[in-house]
Amino acid sequence: MSVFPRISLRPEVADYLKGVFLNKELLASIGHQEAERHFQTLLTCLSHPPSYSCVRASVHLAPLDEIRRKLSEELKKQKCGSEEEQLEIFLHPSVPDVLLIPVVGPRCVQQLSSEVVAGAQCGNAVLRGAHVFAPGILACPKYMKVGDVVSVFSDVEGKCTRGAFSFHGKKTFVGNGVAEKDRVGIFGTGETVRGVAVRMTEPLYWSPSFDGVLPHLAFLQNLPSVVVGHVLGPRPGERILDMCAAPGGKTCHIAALMEDQGEVVALDRIRNKMELIRQNVEKLQLRSVKAFCFNSTKVISDDIIGNAEGPPFPPESYDRVLLDAPCSGLGQRPNMASTWSLKEICSYPPLQRSLFRAAVRALKRGGILVYSTCTLTLAENEEQVAWALRTFPGLTLLPQEPRVGGEGMPGAGLTPEQLSLLQRFRPELSWEPGAAKPIASRADGDTIGFFIAKFQKNSFAACGDAQEDQD
């Protein structure tokens, strides 16, 4: 059952996306009617959460079965949901360090007269099992006190004024909870208040909260993001570069896959995000990670000779490079609204290409480069692959293991063979709300939107000229 409206987009962005999903190559492949159906389904499923939570188990610290048992014991302590919502934890059939926990919903929850309005991102997090933290609250009743039972709504269009008593604009109900802070405690101090403000007791979609649950053994992460680490295929003793690393989930996974033997250099240009990387590295007890605040477009310098302790580094310093590129993020779920303009959506490809050039320069000959995004556009995904293959003759596409997503989407002029080597996660192709299917059969399809390409640098891959970047 679909309970939320389709994702709200600016008209020019909706038209742009429609052009992507009804491009000439795709229409020639599947026809207009099928392409239109997929696009309309996509707009609806983006506003709904996936039907399961994905947990990456720290198998470098404990066996998978032990982590599964401990996680089950911890999550059963949470008194949330009804008797029929029995907690089960499933193994992923092909990704060896992934545990899957079904999300129950949409549930029948009675709306109350006392309303709390949270920001859109906070509302999205509630649909994935989070409680409502104080910074996310925009409006609450004038006399709300600790212990009050309230209904929580998400401000879909971002129009609610912080500190308001009520809000009558476009909002979406996400469930009921109990206030753990009163109004003064949320808005009256003049300072940013931390901690849980509403503890969700009757969420519309029930998923366990992972806040403080086995922090060193269970890492909440979207399935495609876990697949990326396996596709990169790190090995003990290698030197690996993670170019856009914050908050560090993929960085830590890479270090764990190489048994914490070797070196993983994690870079991010935003200083306040570096602490997130360091916290995750410490939490997962990893010693092979070195994190630096640095602009990855400048990570390689011809003036550096020998082993550099920190960036920039000499060319061809790394066995493998992960470029999980900054992107428009249109594949994230749940996402009920995006206020971005078309100009903002289209601003990412030039930055992605600058980063890609640096990645190729950083890579040793014979090394592996994985490029990934969490967005839906051709310009940030398949068109970037086509550009890379034109610009760097020494790069070749490689098959990916594990194979979880579908093939690339037509529309960028890639051959069928090239498309078959890519992984594009397209939730709209298999989304059936309320379908009673075993989790193993729906896990690979009901994901966020995501894209992965894997390259090998077989010889010197010279950069193309400036005109190539205008393609």
Helix axes 382-391, 348-362, angle to 10 degrees: 50
**Can you tell me the distance from the alpha carbon of 423 to that of 406, in angstroms, rounded to the nearest whole number?**
5
Q: How far is CA 378 from the centre of its chain?
A: 18
DSSP sequence for 184-246: HHHHTTSS---SEEEEEEEESSB----TTSSTTTEEE--HHHHHHHHHH---TT-EEEESS-T
For residue 208 the two structure tokens come to 């366990």
With contact defined as beta carbons under 8 Å apart, do 333 and 125 qualify? no
The SS3 assignment for 457 reads: strand
Q: What is the DSSP string of 4-52?
A: SPPPB--HHHHHHHHHHHT-HHHHHHH-HHHHHHHHHHHHHHTTS--SE
Instruction: Please state, in angstroms and rounded to a whole number, the distance separating the CA atoms of residues 197 and 443.
Output: 32
Q: Is 252 in the active site?
A: no
State the DSSP string of 372-400. EES---STTTHHHHHHHHHH-TTEEE---
Active-site entry in 54, 80, 244, 374: 374
**For tokens 């194979």, what's the residue?**
403
* Residues annotated catalytic, as ranges: 374
